[in-house]
Each structure stands twice: as C-alpha cells, then as structure tokens.
Structure 1
Amino acid sequence: MASSKQRLDQLLVMRALAASRPQAQRLIMAGKVRVAGQLADKPGRRIAADAELSVAAGERFVGRGGAKLEHAFQTFGLQASGLICLDIGASSGGFTDCLLQHGAAKVYAIDVGRGQLHQKLRQDPRVVIMDKTNARYLRPDDLGELADLAVMDVSFISLTKVMPAIKDMLRPGAHLLTLIKPQFEAGRQEVGRGGVVREAAVRQRVIEQLRQWGTEQLGLRWLGVC
C-alpha cells in the first residue's frame, strides 16, 4: 500500500525540522530542504509521509549550538518529547531551540549572563528563563522539580566544577549531554594562542579524564563522544 502524502511544509513541522509552517516555507524557498537528497523548492509539494527529509545544518535553530545538539540526538538515539530539560549556558538559545523542536515540555534556560536568549524563545511559554544564575550553585529546590535531560555548554570553568550540581538536578535514569572544551580542562601550558589546544593527544587525554571522573566520582554511565 502506498504511503499517504503530506504537504512538504507540514511534514517539516511534523518531523520537528521546522518550528512552524512559515519557517518551513522560508527554508524551502531558500533552498535549504532536500527530499531523498534532491533539492525541494515548493512548500505545497505533496510527498510520501515517510520520505527522507533533510535541512541544511544551522538553518533550523536560533544559534549554532542547535545543530550540534541535533547531531548528538541523532548519534545517541535520544529524544526530548514531553521531557523537563535543563539548558546550562543557554546563551542565545541554540540548545533550547533544538529541545523545543524535539517536543520538550519545559526548558529551564540557565545562564550567568543576562538578556542573551533569542526573542522567539523568550516568548515561548515552555521556556523558564533563569538569567544571572551560576549553575555551579544550583540546588534541586531552586526549580521545585527534577529534570529528565540536561544539556550544557559552559566556558571559563571546568566541567568538574559544574556537573556535580547538575547531577543532583536530574531524575534517576536521566541523560546529560555536554560540550567538552579542552582549553578549560587542560593545563595552562597546553593551551595555545587563542585558547586552542592543538595537540590531539591532549584533547584525547582530557576526554578520557572526564570519562573516568564522571563514572568513578559521579556514578555516571558514559554514552560516548560525537
């Protein structure tokens, strides 16, 4: 039996590849959408409901972090539908946007800065804005509930300083996804100009040290790196 057909713009929204039909239409008209690998330029085109769709990376989200989180979701087979989520180091909200497009019920957008979150996200009732908040000192009572998923992108601090507090904010069986920035984990002598760690061996050692620390000190189960 042939698959039922849907409008391309509607299908993008149904697949969480666009936040709304107007956004889907803009992406299609801008040449950012492919169906089964072929460029699609008509929002009203009817295609099979199970057709392979792709959107150019970085176009779906308000910040570049969204594409990074999307890659992690695909790599590890995770989802956010109906979940309570934490976005640590939310900034403009790339991660938050990705979580919402994947159906998150609520996202706590936490950042030490102020006023950085994209206006679209500030207006979304599912987003709880927590500006001027240092995640290192968060406690479960600060939210009044535990989260199902945490995503993290922090700078100028080691993950070992932040993750213990975040672990306490999560339900048993929850997931934590974080960017690893070697320049904030390696020794000063190992960080080059511009804050770049050029030695592959140093980067790999940082990852292994974090893996070992997380499993032994926090009791976490390591999913991997992508």
Structure 2
Amino acid sequence: MKSTKKERIDRVIASRGLAESRTAARGLVMAGKVFVSGVRVDKAGTLVAEDSLIEIKRESVEWVSRGALKLVKALDVFRVDPKNRICVDIGASTGGFTQVLLARGASRVYSVDVGYGQLAWSLRNDERVVVMERKNARDLRPSDFDGTPEIAVVDASFISLRLLLPVMNSFLPSAGEAVALVKPQFEIGRGRVGKGGRVRSKEDHVEVLDGMTSFCDKKLALKPSGLAFSPITGAKGNIEYLLYLRKTGDSVPTTLSSREVVEEAHAFFSEEREERREP
C-alpha cells in the first residue's frame, strides 16, 4: 500500500540522501532540478508522499564559480534556451555565466569585463568564447559583435543596472532576451546600505524590484517578463534577484509580484540560517 503521509520535498530529498542537507535540497528544487513522477517541482515547501518517485537532474559539469548556479536557475525557471545562439555575458569575471551558456549549447559567447585576467583558463581557450577584457560594458556597441547577440546576461557589481540595461537594449534584436541579476546594494543608494554592505529590509528589496521593473517597462523595449530570487546569496550575504526581460514589439503581459518573490526569498534564507543553527 502506498504511503498517504506527506512531507516537504526538501526534507524527503535530504532524508533519502539525494542531497547532503536540506539547504542543498532546497537549492536543487529552486534550480528546477527536482522532478516528482516526471513533473518538475519548483517550491521547496511542496508536500509529497514519502514514497514518491523523485528524480534529480544534475548538471554534469563542475562550474568555475558558484555564481553559475544563479544562471542555471534563471535559464530553467524562465525557460531560456541558449542553444545555437550568440550570447553576451556582461560582468563575466571568472566566467560562471559564460560556462553555463556554453554548457547549454550557445554557439558563441562574448565575455565582457572591465577587469583583466579573471576569466578561467578553460573558457579563455574555448574557441566559442570571445574575450572582451578591460571593456566597460557601457561602451558596448552593436558593431562590437560579429553577428547579432540574441541573449544577454549580466552579473555586475558597483554599478546600477539602470546604466547597463539600456546598452543591452541597444544591441539585442526584436526577439532578444536578457537575464539580469538585481543586487539591491547597488540599486538602493549608498546612504541606505547597512553595515557590512548589506541591504536586509524586505521593504527596500520590494522598492528596488518595483523600481527596476518600472524603469524597464517605461524606458526600454526590453520588458519585464519574469522574476525570481537567486538560489544563493552574494559574497557579503546579500539576497539577489533574477529579472528576465524580453524584447518584443508589444508590451509583454506579466503578473510579476515583487513582494511575493521577496517574501519567498527571505523565508528561504531565513530557514537556511535556522538549519545552520541546529545541532
């Protein structure tokens, strides 16, 4: 007889040893890697029978940086397919996003960074990667690319997305897509950033996300089409968010709820902190 008792999916995954901890289990769920009887489950609090058929679809590569996990989630949740497409990675750094795009079949990736010598050697020597170091992304022009980029992703620090998204808007075609990592600490204003470079307030996060989606909707052809929180925090522990944008002829209908996503994010990381305190 099948069990009728139900338990949270993250607890079931951890108890079966499919992940090393509930935190890791939640990360798999939020990254879209967990399937129950063939159906994707994307909420860690989903209740499932204890004897449910659970499948974990993991990436078969070792990422050059933990930041790769952010884009993995974005591509899965927003159903963005880089296969056979030209992509641009702004703020490439060691190349976590670049590597994910290549792993998903991108034909070429322009890896752009204002710094120098950071891109992982394996990516630097990949013929599909065009290294654009010491390049300020604000100076990018359509003529910088051989072929038209169809997807742009950005993970930048110490600069507002309001300065970068218009540039991406300028070189992406009518069917272009973008994923932007929204970092509240670089959007809220210096005077409101707390101790240790942290922005902890839910209200501040909602304000940042509402402001960013409104900016895109009013100023750009790239329209907000999806919103989620990053499965991992930034280097200083800041919660970050994934904004999906599409460039179309018409306004993209969307039911984005900044507050709902912020509440989910804070609940997720609050539970993670509590788990760390458990003996």
State the TM-score bracket (shorter-chain normalisation).
0.7 to 0.9
Query: Does the C-alpha gap of structure 1 residues 36 and 219 become closer, same or farther in structure 2, counting only changes over 3 Å?
Result: closer
Query: Which amino acid in 1 is paired with 2:147?
Result: E
Gaps of 5+ in 2: 1-33, 38-53, 229-279
Q: In structure 2, what is the equivalent of residue 69 of structure 1? A: 71
Query: Does the C-alpha gap of structure 1 residues 106 and 56 become closer, same or farther in structure 2, counting only changes over 3 Å?
Result: closer
Distance 1:192 1:116 in 2: 29
Distance 1:209 1:103 in 2: 33
TM-score normalized by the length of structure 1? 0.74
Query: Which amino acid in 2 is paired with 1:71?
Result: K
Q: Secondary structure at the match of 1:55?
A: coil
Query: Which amino acid in 1 is paired with 2:122?
Result: K
Distance 1:169 1:65 in 2: 25
Q: In structure 2, what is the equivalent of residue 54 of structure 1? A: 57
Query: Does the C-alpha gap of structure 1 residues 187 and 82 become closer, same or farther in structure 2, counting only changes over 3 Å?
Result: same
Q: Quick one: which of 177, 182, 201 aligns to 1:199?
A: 201
Q: CA deviation at 1:109?
A: 0.4
Q: In structure 2, what is the equivalent of residue 118 of structure 1? A: 120
Q: Hey, which bits of structure 1, 4+ residues long, moved more than 4 A?
A: 34-37
Q: In structure 1, what is the equivalent of residue 189 of structure 2? A: 187
Distance 1:35 1:182 in 2: 32
Query: Which amino acid in 2 is paired with 1:122?
Result: R
Query: Which amino acid in 2 is paired with 1:180?
Result: V
Moved more, 168-177 or 88-97: 168-177
Taking the TM superposition and a 5 Å limit, the aligned residue runs for 1:31-50 are none
Q: CA deviation at 1:189?
A: 2.4
Gaps of 5+ in 1: 1-33, 38-50
Contact 2:86–2:150 under 8 Å retained in 1: yes
Taking the TM superposition and a 5 Å limit, the aligned residue runs for 1:67-146 are 67-146=69-148
Q: CA deviation at 1:52?
A: 4.4
Q: Secondary structure at the match of 1:108?
A: strand
Per-residue deviation, residues 163-195 of structure 1 (Å, max 9, x unmatched) = 111111111111110100111110222210121
Q: In structure 2, what is the equivalent of residue 45 of structure 1? A: none
Query: Which amino acid in 1 is paired with 2:139?
Result: Y
Q: In structure 2, what is the equivalent of residue 13 of structure 1? A: none
Query: Which amino acid in 2 is paired with 1:55?
Result: R
Q: Secondary structure at the match of 1:221?
A: strand
Q: CA RMSD in A?
A: 2.3
Q: In structure 2, what is the equivalent of residue 48 of structure 1? A: none
Q: Secondary structure at the match of 1:77?
A: coil
Distance 1:182 1:53 in 2: 32
Q: CA deviation at 1:92?
A: 0.3
Q: CA deviation at 1:204?
A: 0.9
